A and B are shown apart, each in its own frame.
Chain A
């Protein structure tokens, strides 16, 4: 009995060690690559002036799709922000997904909507569309009013009415920077084989916002939101940039991404219960599906990330809401990967199948379980005298040091390449947060992700509610 217990403990500890070495090796490789890529990108950007005003005809038309569900308090400001986008040819389609509040009424009165006929250009199955409206004030603003069907269903409804070659999916509460479309469209100009491009998401909490434009970027006062700011820097400036550099991107944030309309329609649209089956990670699932399908069909499928095309979003400031969000993200990750598991270690899919997919599945998907089991296993090993306290402390020092290094790299990239935070105190705080988050927040995050994994196994589909303060802390809203 004692022997088998000891064997089990040894196996657990060995597993944790392998996981630890693997995940940190991956992070270090992507960090190094991201540093190199962003440095080159910034240099390259200075020499390119592709979409100067004289070449407005060269800008492919874009439809911005903004699904809205119970957004009565923020939708007008968000739409106004989308209307100020500095892009020569763009149309906005707000999809009211059967909101229970006054979203539709607010939009009608703010933008003087009139019923219009508009035929569909794709036939993705969606919940019933009640009506299509065009603004009398802004001819490029359209509203599709439909029965509730979820975010993916709303996006599909918008796609059905989209008649531009490119479509930009944003969350209704996301603020796009004025030049965000001009920047994110570049990969589509440079390579006709591009099917999707992700933009960078920044945290808007406590930033000054004036008519939909972030005028003063600052670190949130709330500890949780501030930690997420560093997390987002790490995820986007290190993770997304690194994966894109290896041509192995599997994720584009649902809050801001630009897609080839034809490619999305050919792939069957966003995953909803009326199309390819519901998932809470419809953004990731679409990207993985496009990668798989187009590779199978021998079609070009370039997926890029543009680090200086920015959307601002509000992040949760309460543990409860953040926990729900992380739970949902983890479910989305697992569902997307299991759905396309044929890609795993499949050389046909190149770096995506051989490198990114295993990393996302084993290290990001199952990693939190190993991490939590590891904490437990180490504690048991120490208590039962199977491992020395010094060994455990040494191991945690290493884990802590690697975690800090990753956050430092992310802040360094941010500062060298973009420097959006003008206060030195904010930069110092970000370095400090990279240290502090290792004590408590990291473990809590692992717990939420394990819960998400469990909920994914038992088939839970709920989205949970996001509580919002509004962009200037003006009003509390929920959706």
Chain B
């Protein structure tokens, strides 16, 4: 306090001694000085931070080198997992789990189980971070528990689907989906609307990574009219990625009874993957739909599941649909349906889309 008082007095004195111009000049120079001091502090801090980071990295490298060596012995069966797990200090538990995360992603089967056993005694420590005020910390904790601690810590990870941060919720959904256990499909699907702004194909691939065990839940979501169209479309796409044949009838039902464009398009994508002859009528009708996404996926589906007589419909779409996207998909569908002759006819004609015929005949797809 006396210091502050003295400073205030000094300022008062300076104000009395200096003219307004001089006071302004003093202020300018002092401000410049403050910024220079800030810059020097930041530069020093950066260098200290750098050297500390390098030292920590070296220490971490030493530790991980040791862990790596011992882990190999555990994986080869020369040592019990407890012998490695027991050597980890309290201070290094989080680092050890980070080390194990790298391995759990690369290994499979029995070796992956060993990694999880190694992690188990240390995961309690991580649960402390689930209520951390910094969302990135919570997300990292959820990720660690999701990748190393399922099913023991499933409750915690599922609870994180309701975290106030959408990022943390996505990490929970993502790790639950990667767990290769269809049992987690229900909670993830129930929270899917939280991710409504994400790309549908990303969400579908995430759900499909749960494997065929997730199919019953996905079918249920697709069939339920109470579920949002977005979630139903994602479920349909996930089922298509899984190649789930029993979902074909559901897709047909959805295509016939719904008017939502995105959902109808998703149903057609599912039919393209698993549809059968009895679904073709509905697909044919969709080929002349007003909505571009519906027509686009209808011609794709028709190429896969259509009959010989559908070639005319595809040829017509290839030549006259106003959208080049539909035309390309129809031409590809025509090729898939065995309509190479029609494509050759198109290629040899003077039709404005003759090049399309030539393109699709000689096409070598990149992926």
Contacts and interface: CB of A to CB of B under 8 A. Distances in A.
Interface of A: 40, 43-44, 46-50, 52, 54-58, 60-61, 88-91, 116-122, 134, 139-140, 163, 188-193, 388, 390-391, 394-395, 397-402, 404-405, 408-409, 411-412, 415-416, 419, 424, 427-428, 431, 434
A48 B169 CA distance: 11
A428 B355 CA distance: 59
B17 interface: no
A47 B139 contact: yes
Interface string B20-51: 01000100110111111011001101110111
A47 B32 contact: no
B28 A394 contact: yes
Interface stretch (B182-190, B197-205, B212-220): B197-205
Interface residues of B, number: 63
Contact of A121 (B45, B105, B325, B358): B325
Contacts of B167: 44, 47-48
B1 interface: no
Contact of A191 (B21, B29, B198, B365): B198
Given A397-B29, A427-B47, A120 B324 contact: yes
Given A139-B365, A405-B39, A415-B49, A119 B328 contact: yes
A54 B25 CA distance: 64
A188 B208 CA distance: 20
B171 A47 contact: yes
A50 B202 contact: yes
A48 B171 contact: yes
B153 to A, nearest CB: 16
A43 B31 contact: no
Given A401-B33, A404-B36, A405-B35, A58 B46 contact: no
A88 B367 contact: yes
B209 A55 contact: yes
Interface string B175-197: 00010000000000000000001
Contact of A119 (B105, B171, B327): B327
B156 interface: no
Query: In terms of DSSP, what is the predominant structure of the interface of chain A?
Result: helix
Contact of B46 (A47, A192, A427): A427
Nearest to A393: B29
A117 B355 contact: yes
A192 B139 contact: no
Contacts of B364: 134, 139
Contacts of B255: none
A44 B327 CA distance: 42
Contacts of A408: 39, 42-43, 46
Interface of B: 21, 25, 28-29, 31-36, 38-39, 42-43, 45-47, 49-51, 53, 105, 134-137, 139-140, 142-143, 167, 170-171, 174, 178, 197-202, 204-206, 208-209, 241, 324-325, 327-328, 347, 353, 355-359, 362, 364-367
Residue from B28, B170, B202, B362 whose CB has the most chain A CB atoms within 10 Å: B202
A117 B346 CA distance: 13
B238 to A, nearest CB: 10
B329 to A, nearest CB: 10
Contacts of B199: 58, 60, 188-189, 192
Contacts of B142: 47
Contacts of A52: 105, 178
B353 A119 contact: yes
A225 to B, nearest CB: 22
Contacts of A44: 135-136, 139, 167
12 contacts: A40-B136, A46-B136, A58-B206, A60-B201, A61-B367, A117-B362, A388-B21, A394-B25, A404-B35, A404-B39, A408-B46, A424-B51
Given A48-B171, A117-B362, A190-B197, 4 more contacts: A89-B366, A188-B199, A190-B198, A409-B42
Contacts of B47: 424, 427-428
Given A44-B139, A397-B28, A411-B46, A117 B205 contact: no
Given A189-B199, A398-B32, A408-B39, A50 B367 contact: no
A331 B346 CA distance: 48
B197 A193 contact: yes
B243 to A, nearest CB: 12
A140 B367 contact: yes
B136 A43 contact: yes
Residue from B35, B50, B174, B359 whose CB has the most chain A CB atoms within 10 Å: B35
B104 to A, nearest CB: 11
Contacts of A428: 47
A92 B143 CA distance: 35
Contact of A189 (B198, B209, B324, B357): B198
A73 B125 CA distance: 57
Contact of A116 (B200, B359, B365): B359
Nearest to B209: A54
A17 to B, nearest CB: 10
Contact of A117 (B140, B178, B327, B358): B358
Residue from A394, A395, A399 whose CB has the most chain B CB atoms within 10 Å: A394
Nearest to B37: A401
A88 B171 CA distance: 22
Contacts of A58: 199, 201-202, 204-206
A111 B106 CA distance: 34
B20 to A, nearest CB: 12
A136 B324 CA distance: 25
Residue from A58, A188, A394 whose CB has the most chain B CB atoms within 10 Å: A58
A60 B367 CA distance: 12
Contacts of A405: 35-36, 38-39, 42
Contacts of B29: 394, 397-398
